[in-house]
Amino acid sequence: MIALAAGLLFTTSATTADGTALRDDRRPQVAQLIADKRVRLDAREQTAAKLRSAVDQDTARLAEVGGPVKRARDSADALRSPAGFTALQGPGVTVSLDDSSRRSNDFAAANAPDNDDLVVHQGDVQAVVNALWAGGAEAMSIMEVRVISTSAVRCVGNTLLLHGQVFSPPFRITAIGEPTAMHHALESAEGVRQFRDAVADFGLGYTETVERNVTVRAYDGSSDLRSARVAG
């Protein structure tokens, strides 16, 4: 009975695959799906940017004749810089993380790493981001996209997803602040130390560059909040 069921399963798989590898067959479809989604997202982002600009212009006109609107606008403008909605320029640090160019079969069989050991993960990017904030970063961007309080860093496979945009390694994180303080924070962060150990063991890429004068662009995406709570 077991042999009969196994034979039926193999026959069904062979018929479905039609001589191709089932897992490999889906990769081009997934890649195309991601590309199509990105095109639609870019178009929607452009539309949203135009609508935000129109709202800002209408609000500015109302502020010229309406006292309450002007006060609300002035209050919001005072918060734009700390919220990340204005560009910031100054000294800082750029950290770049990259996948290894090596493969599992490049290592001795006894010490061969898993494929997961040879790529940058979400936790690696987050460790650098957290260390830079802890080191006094005043503003930050990942792949030139401004990071704000509602930003979420996620990895899908070996790509990074940030504010609906997909990026491939190397991942560049730039922070404005006092370079020495941020360097010490990176040196003392456990997650960063673990990644740098993997650099030595598996050939992953890690570079840290001091920036004398770098610009972190303003955040230009949606500012809508789904939920929030007052910090303790």
Q: What is the 3-state secondary structure (H, E, C) of 135-151?
A: CCCCEEEECCEECCCCC
Q: Where are the domains of the chain?
A: 22-82, 88-216
pLDDT per position as a tens digit, 141-175? 999 999 988 888 888 777 888 887 889 999 999 99
- pLDDT, residue 15, reads 45
Q: Which residues contact 175 (CB under 8 A, 6 or more apart)?
A: 92, 93, 94, 132, 133, 135, 137, 138, 139, 140, 182, 216
Report for 53-62, 204-213, 217-226: range of highest mean pLDDT: 204-213
Listed range (9-23, 61-75, 116-130) with the worst mean pLDDT: 9-23
More confident: 140 or 222: 140
Q: Tally the C-alpha atoms within 13 A of residue 153's C-alpha that lie toward its C-beta.
A: 23
Two tokens, residue 145: 């996209």
Q: What integer is the mean pLDDT of 130-150?
A: 94
Q: What integer is the mean pLDDT of 50-63?
A: 73
pLDDT per position as a tens digit, 18-43? 444 444 445 566 667 767 777 787 78
What dotted CATH number matches 88-216? Answer: 3.30.70.1880
- pLDDT, residue 224, reads 65
Two tokens, residue 73: 């606008």
Query: In which residue are the tokens 């792949």 written?
Result: 143
Two tokens, residue 66: 């309406």
Mean pLDDT score across all residues of the chain:
79
- pLDDT, residue 14, reads 47
- pLDDT, residue 120, reads 92
Q: How many helices (H) and strands (E) does the chain have?
A: 6, 8
Two tokens, residue 162: 């940030």
Rg (C-alpha) for the chain, rounded Å, is 24
By three-state DSSP, how is residue 15 classified?
Answer: helix
- pLDDT, residue 44, reads 77
* Whole-angstrom distance, CA of residue 86 vs CA of residue 80: 6
- The answer on pLDDT for 74 being more than 90 is no
Q: How confident is the model at residue 98 (pLDDT cuts 50, 70, 90)?
A: very high
More confident: 8 or 78: 78
- The answer on pLDDT for 97 being more than 90 is yes
- pLDDT, residue 4, reads 45
In angstroms, the Cα distances linking 8 to 5, 25, 81, 188, 225 are: 5, 22, 64, 57, 52
